[in-house]
Amino acid sequence: MVYHRAFIGCAHGPINHQAQPHDIIDISLLVKQVVSQKTAELYEKGYSTSAIARQLGIGKTTVNSHLTASNVELRSHSNNQLRNNKKHKTRSIKTAPYGFCLVDGLLHKDPKEQSTLKLILKWAEQGKSHCEIARKLNEQKLKPRHALKWSQPTVGYIIKRHNDKQEN
C-alpha cells in the first residue's frame, strides 16, 4: 500500500522548511476510513460491489472487506451467499439418455436400446476400448439413436454416464 503524507503548518511545503515529525500526518488511515464510509454509502444506495469497485478504483475484494469491516449486511445476491444458500434443483430432462425413453416426463427403459446398452457395458467391463466397442457395434449393424454409425466419443459418454450413475 502506498502511504500518503501531508505537510501541516508550512505554506510553501517541504521546499523551504525542514519537516519535523509533528508536521507529518500519515493519512493512509484517513483514506481507509473515507473509502469505507463511501463504500457503505454507495452500497446502501443500491450499488453493486462491482459498480462500487469501478467508481472508487479499487478491487471487489477490497469493497467486500470494507463492507464487512463496517458491519454492513451484504445483500442476498452476493456470490458467497448464493453458493451457501443454493437449493438443490430437480433437473429437467429434455432428451432421454441412450437406453431410456421419456414418457410423461419420466424416464423408462427403452427395450429396443437396452440390449445394445447391456452389450456396450459388458464389453467395457471386459476391458475393450471405446473405439473397439464402436467398431464391433458398427460391424453388427446396430444403429445409434441419431447418428449413422457408432463413434468412440458416443460410446465413451454412455459408459461414463453409466459409471457416474453407479457411483451415486
Each residue of 69-83: pLDDT tens digit? Answer: 888 888 876 455 455
For residue 15, is pLDDT > 60? no
Q: Which set of grid coordinates corresponds to residue 78?
A: 452476493
Interatomic CA distance for residues 121 and 130, integer angstroms: 10
Tell me the C-alpha to C-alpha distance, in Å, between residue 62 and each of 45, 69, 90, 154.
Answer: 18, 10, 36, 47
pLDDT for res 163: 85
Interatomic CA distance for residues 79 and 26, integer angstroms: 35
pLDDT for res 2: 45
Please report, as a single letter, which amino acid is at residue 85: N
Do residues 137 and 159 lie in contact, with contact meaning Cβ atoms separated by under 8 Å?
A: no
Q: 152-167 vs 111-125: helix axis angle to the nearest 10?
A: 90
Query: For all residues of the chain together, what is the average pLDDT?
Result: 79
Give pLDDT tens digits for 31-65: 777 788 888 888 888 888 888 888 888 888 888 88
pLDDT for res 49: 87
